[in-house]
Amino acid sequence: MISVHGRKEDFPIFNKKINGKDIIYLDSTATTQKPRQVLDAITGYYEGYNANVHRSVYKLADEATEVYEQSRSNVANFIGAKDNEIIFTRNTTESLNLLSFTIGDSLRRGDRILITSMEHHSNILPWTRLEDRGVIVDYAGFDEEGHLDIGDLESKLKRETKIVSVTHQSNVLGTINPIDEIGKIVKENGSIFIIDAAQSIPHMPFRVRDEYDFVAFSGHKMLGPMGIGVLYGKYEQLDKMPPFNRGGEMIKDVDFHSVIFEDPPIKFEAGTPNVEGAVGLSAAIDYLKVIGMEEVRRHEKHLTSITLKGMEDLKSVTYYGPRNVEDRGGVIAFNVKDKTNVKRNLEKNNVKLDRLYHSHDIATFLDERNVYVRSGHHCAEPLMRSLGLSGTARASYYVYNGEDDVKIFLKSLGELDVQR
Amino acid sequence: MSWTYNDEVMDRYQNPVKNGRMDDCDIKIDEASTTCGDKVVLYIKTNGNKIEDMRWEGEGCILSVVSTDLFCENSIGKDIRSIKEIDDLAFVENFPVKISPGRINCVLLPLRAFRRGAKEK
Ligand SMILES: Cc1ncc(COP(=O)(O)O)c(C=O)c1O
């Protein structure tokens, strides 16, 4: 259960005061805070097990390998995958780049990749790098409320479309995309289906399905430490793929001029892995499992719902993304109209524009009230361009946030609403 | 604590004194920060290497607008070189309110534009 106050007591950082006041952390989309259980697991690893994994034959190394592999099992179990389908990476970005430099590199001139206009840069740039070799990248659009335009996606899905890579939940609009429906369409077309789950797996129940070929996510966005990420890959896909990095660990046999690679997932984990990261992520998963992912989703839906309602009462505030909380996660991008009497000569052809406060000004204004929101383009510039904006402010929630945070946030926004 | 958006800052934001284009300028500098969406044009009128007048046009956050407007006003009568040599830290410290590290680039926008675009004769 998560009470309406959130679970701050498990998170040591919330004992910290800045300017003598509690911190209101509303930037979990960027990264999450860590519970005591995760911090203890990390020190516990170094105090009790540390040795290099998969290499040595002595007991301590066996134990280190065991906790590392147990962490992998825990991740697999959390999303309904098999252990050998879980590759540890640094983060979502590296997971997606791994795919670009393996299956992406096998594409030829005229092949197409379909993504959406609401992707994070880390699900755009690994694909547009292939344009140099004549691969075409298409973007499926979204409607005014930020729902993915499935008709547009279908019409852009061509015979030449080899890869479709879609975010499960937008890190700006909050939109939850219907990945099962999309997966079906993609599979009928015979394309590879990749899901950027960086913003979904931390916040809602998630099970891999047959239509999903690959799923990427980050540990640090789900209460785990930084520097550990995951790539789920269907085993038959992983088995066909060439390795990404090469070096220690990932080989069965090396001769002067030849090599036999390990089987997946080790084939994709060259070099000493981030064992403390895997152990920390596993502890984070244990923490989330005790709460239950349905409960996490319920709590965030509740906070989102009171936030949207509160924002609707503030005349100068506009938020983006779906109005129905069933269709969105606890990420709320917004802007505030600048009602100050600005006597500047900025308007094109003297037409008075509806001026917005710059998102950094909103964030600094809130920062001075200890309310921490993100501002800018959120690593999604094409999305910002589609919205006709250069940036937004963004608040996002997680298990430690409560109604009290929402109240202070809305009250502070209200002060901006009436300023001058 | 001091508030970033105090009266001095907000007054200048609302009533900038050097805003507006200058048709007979000697130097025109276009500056855009793609990450912030800020776009500023500096218009400079010179007499030798001295700044005779400076105005600006554009769109940005409160801090970059106020900093640019102050920069235009304070630069008048100064030498191009002496302005280019202003230290970043000193420039930020001279701003009327204390700035958090994340916002320093906003304040530095006009100085950087000037350094890049104002050539000595
Ligand atoms: C939807 C989405 N994809 C990918 C990423 C990249 O995650 P990371 O920086 O952990 O690689 C993010 C992070 O903000 C994200 O929100």
pLDDT in tens, A50-83: 999 988 899 999 999 999 999 999 999 999 999 9
Residue nearest to atom 16 of ligand 1 (CA): A171
- CATH code of A25's domain: 3.90.1150.10
Q: How confident is the model at residue B92 (pLDDT cuts 50, 70, 90)?
A: very high
Give the torsion sign (CA, A25, B103, B97, A365): negative
Q: How confident is the model at residue B64 (pLDDT cuts 50, 70, 90)?
A: very high
CB of A199 within 8 A of CB of A217? no
A1 lies in some domain: no
Q: Do B20 and A345 touch (CB under 8 A)?
A: yes
Q: CA of B15, closest CA in chain A: separation in Å?
A: 5
* Co-location of A278 and A304 in the same domain: no
A308 lies in some domain: yes
At a CB cut-off of 8 Å and minimum separation 6, what does B4 contact? A364, A365, A368, B63, B97, B98, B99, B100, B103
Total domains in chain A come to 2
Half-sphere exposure of A14 (CA within 13 A, CB side): 21
A330 lies in some domain: yes
- Beta-strand ranges (E) seen in A141-228 are 161-167, 192-196, 214-218
Is A139 strand, coil or helix? strand
Give the residue from A259, A290, A321 where a domain finishes: A290
- Find out whether the beta carbon of A92 lies less than 6 Å from any atom of ligand 1: yes
Q: How confident is the model at residue A342 (pLDDT cuts 50, 70, 90)?
A: low
**Burial of A136 by CB count in 10 Å (0-12 exposed, 13-18 middle, 19+ buried)?**
middle
* Co-location of A176 and A222 in the same domain: yes
CB of A184 within 8 A of CB of A193? no
Question: Is 60 exceeded by the pLDDT of residue A100?
Answer: yes
CATH, domain range B7-117: 3.90.1010.10
* Co-location of A387 and A366 in the same domain: yes
Question: Is 90 exceeded by the pLDDT of residue B21?
Answer: yes
CB of A232 within 8 A of CB of A201? no
User: What is the arithmetic mean of pLDDT over A96-115?
Assistant: 98
pLDDT of residue A350: 45
Helix segments in A5-128, DSSP class H? 36-48, 59-79, 92-100, 125-128
A65 lies in some domain: yes
How far apart CA A75 and CA A68 sit, in angstroms, is: 11
Give the torsion sign (CA, A89, A95, A100, A102): positive
- Find out whether the beta carbon of A196 lies less than 6 Å from any atom of ligand 1: yes
Question: Is 90 exceeded by the pLDDT of residue B34?
Answer: no
pLDDT of residue A105: 98
- CATH code of A236's domain: 3.40.640.10
A3 lies in some domain: no
Residue among A379, A393, A408, A416 flagged as catalytic: A379
Q: How does DSSP classify residue A355?
A: -
Question: Is 50 exceeded by the pLDDT of residue A348?
Answer: no
How far apart CA A230 and CA A94 sit, in angstroms, is: 9
Domain that holds residue A87: 38-290
At a CB cut-off of 8 Å and minimum separation 6, what does A210 contact? none
Annotate A138-175 with b (16+ C-beta within 10 A) or e (fewer).
bbbebeeebbbeeebbeebbeeebbbbbbbbbbbbbbb
Q: CA of B24, closest CA in chain A: separation in Å?
A: 18
How far apart CA A222 and CA B112 sit, in angstroms, is: 39
> Across chain A, what does the average pLDDT equal?
95
Q: Do B60 and A358 touch (CB under 8 A)?
A: yes
Question: Is 70 exceeded by the pLDDT of residue A343?
Answer: no
Residue-wise pLDDT tens digits, A290-341: 999 999 999 999 999 999 999 999 999 999 999 999 999 999 999 999 877 6
pLDDT of residue A249: 87
pLDDT of residue B37: 80
Question: Is 60 exceeded by the pLDDT of residue A352?
Answer: no
Question: Is 90 exceeded by the pLDDT of residue B109?
Answer: yes
How far apart CA A334 and CA A314 sit, in angstroms, is: 12
A2 lies in some domain: no
Give the residue from A256, A290, A324 where a domain finishes: A290
pTM: 0.94
Active site residue A379: yes
Question: Is 80 exceeded by the pLDDT of residue A349?
Answer: no
pLDDT of residue A351: 43
User: What is the arithmetic mean of pLDDT over B82-101?
Assistant: 95
Question: Is 80 exceeded by the pLDDT of residue B35?
Answer: no
A404 lies in some domain: yes
CB of A113 within 8 A of CB of A107? yes
* Co-location of A92 and A178 in the same domain: yes
Give the torsion sign (CA, A310, A315, A317, A320): positive
A96 lies in some domain: yes
pLDDT of residue A419: 58
CB of A216 within 8 A of CB of A209? no
Q: How confident is the model at residue A191 (pLDDT cuts 50, 70, 90)?
A: very high
pLDDT of residue B90: 96
Give the residue from A268, A290, A312 where a domain finishes: A290
How far apart CA A1 and CA A4 sit, in angstroms, is: 10
* Co-location of A286 and A309 in the same domain: no
* Co-location of A363 and A277 in the same domain: no
* Co-location of A304 and A258 in the same domain: no
Residues of chain B with Cβ-Cβ distance to A383 below 8 Å are none
Closest atom of ligand 1 to A94 CA is 11
At a CB cut-off of 8 Å and minimum separation 6, what does A144 contact? none
Q: How far, CA to CA in Å, does B25 sit from each of A141, A349, B111? A: 44, 21, 18
Q: Do B1 and A344 touch (CB under 8 A)?
A: no
Q: Do A364 and B100 touch (CB under 8 A)?
A: yes
Interface of A with B (CB under 8 A): 19, 340-346, 357-358, 360-361, 364-365, 367-368, 376-377, 381, 389-391, 419-420
pLDDT of residue A345: 54
CB of A189 within 8 A of CB of A221? no
pLDDT of residue B2: 56
Angle ∠(A394,A398,A400) on CA atoms, nearest 5: 120
* Co-location of A234 and A199 in the same domain: yes
Amino acid identity, residue A204?
M
Share of chain A above pLDDT 90, in %: 92
Q: How confident is the model at residue B1 (pLDDT cuts 50, 70, 90)?
A: very low
Share of chain B above pLDDT 70, in %: 98
Q: Mind giving me the DSSP string for A118-133? A: T--GGGTHHHHGGGGG
* Co-location of A305 and A285 in the same domain: no
How far apart CA A167 and CA A181 sit, in angstroms, is: 13
Share of chain A above pLDDT 70, in %: 96
User: What is the arithmetic mean of pLDDT over B60-87?
Assistant: 96
CB of A19 within 8 A of CB of A41? no
Structure tokens at A300: 């965030």
* Co-location of A337 and A384 in the same domain: yes
Does B36 contact chain A (CB < 8 Å)?
yes
* Co-location of A286 and A297 in the same domain: no
Residue-wise pLDDT tens digits, A140-184: 999 999 999 999 999 999 999 999 999 999 999 999 999 999 999
* Co-location of A279 and A170 in the same domain: yes
Question: Is 50 exceeded by the pLDDT of residue A10?
Answer: yes
pLDDT of residue A325: 98
